Amino acid sequence: MTSPSIRIAILALALSFATTAQAQWDDWYIAPSVIYFDDDGDRNLDDGMYFGQFSVGRGLTRNLAIEGLLGYYDVSGYKDTTISIPDQKHTELGVNLLAFLDRDATVAPYLLVGIGQLRTKDSIGNTENRPSASFGVGLNWNIAQSNFSLRAELRSRLAYEKNYNFIDNIASLGVQYSFGAKSSARSLPQDNVDTDGDGVLDMWDECPDTPRGTEVTSRGCELKNIDRDSDGDRVFDSVDQCPNTPRGVPVDPVGCSLDSDRDGVTTDRDRCPASAPGAIVDSYGCSRDGDGDGVLNPTDRCPETRPGATVDVNGCEFTDVIQLPGVNFGSSSDLLLPGTERIIESAAATLNNHPDLQIEVAGHTDSDGDANMNYGLSERRAKTVRDFLIRYGVDGTRLTVRGYGESQPIDENETMRGRATNRRVELRIVDR
């Protein structure tokens, strides 16, 4: 007859499988492990490495996971002058709940509690079935951006009997594999999502389930007759004193065009609506470009560039390598450090101003780690920057990717600062 603890374990796993449709499919994982068995002293068995255990689990939230466990331990006994202890075979079936601070962290510690059933059979034919409970701690080390992680765990298992309990200690070391391709999408901003396709981004949409094709307000809710805004300036017709304002032009509370940069040219006619305060502008509201490099005087950091020179968005001439100072990566990672996207966006603007340039996105690492692995890491870093450039409007056919590993340092690798500088990506002009 099935014990109560086994029935509870099976029910918990069944509930986990039943909620699969509500969870991300790539949260499933398997984890085979080898174990070191330290038995209860009253068993009189030898401690040591005995077979292992196999876990199948699924993440429930960012902080919780549930898993089923199957363990098998072929444990040896010993002999002395007075008694002979037979060998034992332990078969464990259970379900564990894992509590994390953050499952997505590179190093993710966790607490473990579980229940199950322990079947013990010795070499002289005796068999015991005991309900069990486990308590322990573990550590899951996510390996870069792969689906694999290393897992170490230490738990105490109580095997219950009415008259006597055994408490065994089990240490395990294994590999965990998560199903489904990992993506860097978790680290990318999600501000540009419009789930219901009504033209209002989700972060502003107060009615995120509006049927497609429905006219909506600026907050994404269905447009009522009293709320109509014929010229799309976000001022309702009932109060709009300038009902034919061009779309996209900033307006005042009564719907009339503003002079946003206060240069004397109203925004609907201003081709340069962000002119610097006090700038002398033409009839279209644009500052003059003194050196003819395509960058207006107020924003030109190199106002005397030679004629015909290729310049970046700041008006300064660049050579065959475009450096990206400040675009750095964490150690052994192809994820950008926070705040670097603006630098890549500026570089993308420069490339978009020069559509004839063919660019090699070159990735580099510091000297830490295996040299062959660093080549792969540097190529992944280059791909990360390439993907951001494409996102900011650069034609992907103009971009090639190459990883140089640790072979081309620009600073010393003996200091933390030098290694951070060497973890970089450069844009190399290969054709004009």
- Are 414 and 277 part of one and the same domain? no
Helices in 273-370 by DSSP H: which ranges? Answer: 341-353
The CATH number of whichever domain residue 323 belongs to comes to: 3.30.1330.60
Element (H, E) at 294: none
Give the pLDDT score at 325.
82
| 175 and 30 fall within a common domain | yes
- The more confident residue out of 229 and 373 is 373
Mean pLDDT of the chain: 80
Domain assignment of residue 172, yes or no: yes
Lowest mean pLDDT among 12-26, 120-134, 346-360, 374-388: 12-26
Report whether pLDDT(189) > 60.
no
Q: Are residues 386 and 430 in the same domain?
A: yes
pLDDT of residue 21: 38
Q: For the whole prediction, is pTM greater than 0.75?
A: no
Question: Is the predicted pLDDT of residue 49 greater than 70, yes or no?
Answer: yes
Residues 208-237: tens digit of each pLDDT: 888 887 777 778 887 665 567 777 777 777
How is the beta sheet containing 321-322 ordered, strand by strand?
A: 321-322, 425-431, 358-363, 399-403
Cα dihedral 64, 101, 176, 180, rounded to 10, equals 70
More confident residue, 46 or 113: 113
Residue 181 banded pLDDT, cuts 50, 70, 90: low
Q: How many CB atoms lie within 10 A of CB 337?
A: 13
- Of 247 and 23, the structure prediction assigns the larger pLDDT to 247
Bigger pLDDT: 421 or 274?
421
Q: Is residue 267 domain-shared with residue 382, that is, in the same domain?
A: no
212 within some domain: no
Does residue 71 contact residue 79 with C-beta atoms inside 8 Å? no
pLDDT, residue 83, reads 54
In a domain, 149, yes or no: yes
Q: Are both 56 and 127 inside the same structural domain? A: yes
Lowest mean pLDDT among 11-25, 320-334, 417-431: 11-25
Q: In the prediction, which pLDDT does 85 show?
A: 61
Indicate the residue among 161, 182, 203 that finishes a domain: 182
In a domain, 364, yes or no: yes
Which has the closest alpha carbon to 223: 203, 241, 198?
198
Residue 347 DSSP SS3: helix
| Rounded Cα–Cα distance for residues 314 and 307 (Å) | 16
Give the DSSP letter of residue 372: H
Cβ atoms of 89 and 77 closer than 8 Å? no
Which range, 18-22, 178-182, 220-224, 336-340, is most confident? 336-340
Contact 241, 226 (CB under 8 A): no
Question: Does residue 124 sit within a domain?
Answer: yes
Domain end residue (candidates: 287, 306, 330): 287
Evaluate if residue 291 carries a pLDDT over 50: yes
Q: What is the CATH number of the domain that holds 49?
A: 2.40.160.20
pLDDT above 60: residue 20: no
pLDDT of res. 24: 43
Whether residue 176 is found in the same domain as residue 98: yes
**pLDDT at res. 295:** 74
Joined together, the tokens standing for residue 234 give 């976000």
Same structural domain for residues 48 and 109? Answer: yes
Between the alpha carbon of residue 343 and those of residues 185, 267, 338, the distances in Å are 19, 28, 11
DSSP code for 128: E
Kindly provide the residue ranges of all beta strands, DSSP E only, lying in 21-63, ordered along the sequence.
Answer: 28-38, 48-59
316 CB-contact burial (10 Å; exposed 0-12 / middle 13-18 / buried 19+): middle
278 within some domain: yes
Judgement on whether residues 395 and 268 belong to the same structural domain of the protein: no
Q: Reply yes or no on whether the pLDDT at 188 is more than 60.
A: no
Q: Which domain holds residue 354?
A: 318-432
Provide the pLDDT for residue 231.
Answer: 78
Question: Of 287, 302, 337, which marks where a domain is finished?
Answer: 287
Binning pLDDT at 50, 70 and 90, where does residue 313 land?
low
Residue 300: Cβ within 10 Å count: 20
Residue 189 is assigned to a structural domain of this protein: no
Pick from 217-226, 321-330, 408-417 the range whose average pLDDT is largest.
408-417
Please check whether residues 120 and 261 belong to one and the same domain: no
Of 180 and 406, more confident = 406
* Of residues 292 and 181, more confidently modeled: 292
Average pLDDT over residues 79-95: 72
Q: Which of 249, 73, 237 is nearest to 170 (CA)?
A: 73
Q: Exposed, middle or buried: residue 338 (CB in 10 Å: 0-12, 13-18, 19+)?
A: exposed
For residue 270, tell me if it sits in a domain: yes
Query: pLDDT higher for 99 or 264?
Result: 99
Q: Give the 3-state secondary structure of residue 343.
A: helix
DSSP SS3 for 82: coil
Q: Is residue 349 within 8 Å of residue 427, measured between CB atoms?
A: no
Q: How many domains does the chain have?
A: 3
CA nearest to 151, candidates 94, 98, 204, 215: 98
pLDDT at 203: 80
Q: What is the DSSP letter of 59?
A: E
The stretch 371-384 carries a mean pLDDT of 90
Cβ partners under 8 Å of residue 182, min gap 6 = 26, 145, 146, 147
pLDDT score recorded for residue 224: 65
Instruction: Answer yes or no: do 9 and 133 share one domain.
Output: yes
Q: Are 105 and 8 in the same domain? A: yes
Asked if residue 349 has pLDDT above 70, the reply is yes
Please write the tens of the pLDDT for every residue from 244-282. Answer: 877 777 777 777 777 767 777 777 777 777 777 667 777
Start-end of H helices in 64-120: none
